[in-house]
Chains A and B, each alone.
Chain A
Amino acid sequence: MSLYYLQKVLYELNRDPGLQDKFRVDKAAVLAGYKLDEEEIEAVKKPDIGLLYILGVNGQILMHYAAMCGYTWPRYIQAMRDALAEHGNVRAGLYVTTDGKGAI
């Protein structure tokens, strides 16, 4: 229920190697600085890239976060497709899918 802060923590992680180091050591401590609900916290920690997509995280923020988490391109795209099948369409934001099939 706090998409703004969910995107904010990912935005700050994506651009700050120092914060990335802290996050790798203690995820909960970093996430405590943001107003997040349980579902969001778990999705970031896991990471559940597909669920983050469904929650409405801007695709550009999520793409960079997936790369930070070591996702290859096909695995990242597949995570979003699997989540669409599991959860239904994106709940908020600009990155609502069209048909989810894409071209690749």
Chain B
Amino acid sequence: MSLVFAGVCSHGPGITGRSAMADPDDVATLYAAMDGMREALQASRPDALLVIAAEHFANFFMNNMPAYCIGMGEEYEGPIEDPEWLGVPRTLVPGAPDLSRRIIERTLQEVDVAYAQEWKFDHGIMVPLHFLTPRYDLPIIPVNINCQGPPLTPLHRAWTFGQALRKACEAVPERIALVGTGGISHWPATPDSGRINAAWDREFLERWAANDREGLLAYTDEQTYFDAGQGGFEIRTYIAVAGATEGCTAKVHYYRPIPIFAVGCTVGIVNLEAQA
């Protein structure tokens, strides 16, 4: 039928795995924002959820790295990480292979996307699902943009990919929800973990919320690496969501730098009715 929901959120493994080490107010407010996102998602009555993720070597490696990939599995297992470390039990997540196939076919009209019938979820998808579909009862279609192993896809292609996904959503009878997960600025998995460039994040989120195509595509990887760390490359997922919702503004419901979670924690929801 169409796209019925679109938003973005963070996925840092600390959000679930290190909650006991965090300031209780940070945990309470972030979790409340994620609960709010779940309620908005549920209210949109989706038949399936597309998660645009930036995986961390759960499925794809430099032997055969797709710039873009969409899952077409019956089911997906996750997390690959030690469940205790992540604070999320290992489980099976239902897929929607027939719907996936139709979305992939339509997306291929615009972008040469890869597909995968096997796919394991890492924290990049499991942390969002832990909050958004805690009973794992909504079919998931994982979508990956390579943000880890350069060379990476250019930002303008991430936008185009989002547009292609949108057309694919419009072409199927099902009600589709879309969530992008990633960064924003962070230096995860380094001794600098906890460093966050909040000013850079706020500027990026302003551009994202305004659906400012030019502003979003003006970033260069060189500058992003310097200002926002290697984790900043994950802005591709937010840009894809912006491309999928071209012309619509969004609201950032939550942003707070939480160093023990290694990221400026973010929840944003697109107003699919609002024109940018």
Chain B interface, >50% SS class:
loop
CA gap between A104 and B192 in the complex, in Å: 8
* Residue pair A58, B149 in contact (C-beta under 8 Å): yes
B260 at interface (Cβ–Cβ under 8 A)? yes
* Residue pair B61, A95 in contact (C-beta under 8 Å): no
Residues of B within 8 A of A77 (CB): 191, 193
A22 at interface (Cβ–Cβ under 8 A)? no
* Residue pair B194, A64 in contact (C-beta under 8 Å): no
Interface string of A1-40 (1 = CB under 8 A from B): 0001001100100110000000000000000000000000
Please give 16 more A-B residue pairs, beta carbons under 8 A apart, in addition to A4-B62, A67-B82, A77-B191.
A14-B58, A59-B189, A60-B189, A62-B189, A63-B13, A63-B188, A70-B82, A73-B21, A81-B191, A94-B150, A97-B192, A99-B192, A101-B192, A102-B190, A102-B192, A102-B193
CA gap between A100 and B259 in the complex, in Å: 15
Residues of A within 8 A of B63 (CB): 8
* Residue pair A103, B196 in contact (C-beta under 8 Å): yes
CA gap between A100 and B58 in the complex, in Å: 26
CB-based nearest B residue for A80: B191
Within 8 A of B (CB), among A43-88: 58-64, 67-68, 70, 73, 77, 80-81, 84
Q: Which residues of A contact B (CB under 8 A)?
A: 4, 7-8, 11, 14-15, 58-64, 67-68, 70, 73, 77, 80-81, 84, 94-95, 97-104
Shortest CB distance A86–B (Å):
13
Q: Interface size class for chain B?
A: 35 or more
CA gap between A94 and B13 in the complex, in Å: 20
Interface string of B169-201 (1 = CB under 8 A from A): 000000000000000000111111111100000
CA gap between A63 and B260 in the complex, in Å: 15
Known: A73-B21, A94-B150, A102-B195. A60 touches B56 (CB 8 A): yes
CB-based nearest B residue for A60: B56
Within 8 A of A (CB), among B45-91: 56-59, 61-63, 80-82, 85-86
CA gap between A90 and B250 in the complex, in Å: 39
28 sample A-B contacts, Cβ–Cβ < 8 Å, listed by A number: A7-B61, A7-B62, A11-B61, A14-B57, A58-B148, A58-B149, A60-B56, A60-B148, A60-B189, A62-B189, A63-B189, A64-B56, A64-B57, A67-B85, A68-B81, A73-B14, A80-B190, A94-B150, A98-B190, A98-B229, A99-B192, A101-B192, A102-B187, A102-B191, A103-B195, A103-B259, A104-B260, A104-B262
